[in-house]
Amino acid sequence: MQNLRDTEGLMTFSRSELQLQLQLQLQLQLQLQLQLQLQLQLQLQLQFAPKAAGAATYRPLHNKLIIQEFSAHYDQ
């Protein structure tokens, strides 16, 4: 089995140990990425979801668009 030395020459790793280490790092990186994506998705859902009470005041952009459509329809 081929061994590789680090830059200081203090430790020696086999190729399979390095592959395992890299695989674990990649898994951790993917887990963190997924966790961040889920957090962002949840934040967005909470930010744009209508509240149980007062949904009309909670979504001003949505209401503004409805008002624009309404006035465009009746201005003609």
Is the pTM for the entire model greater than 0.75?
A: no
* Structural domain for 41, as ranges: 3-75
Q: Which amino acid is at 58?
A: Y
Position 7 scores a pLDDT of 63
Which stretches of the chain drop beneath a pLDDT of 50?
1, 53
Name the domain count of the chain.
Answer: 1
Start-to-end CA span in the chain (Å): 82
**What is d(CA 19, CA 15) in angstroms, rounded to the nearest whole number?**
6
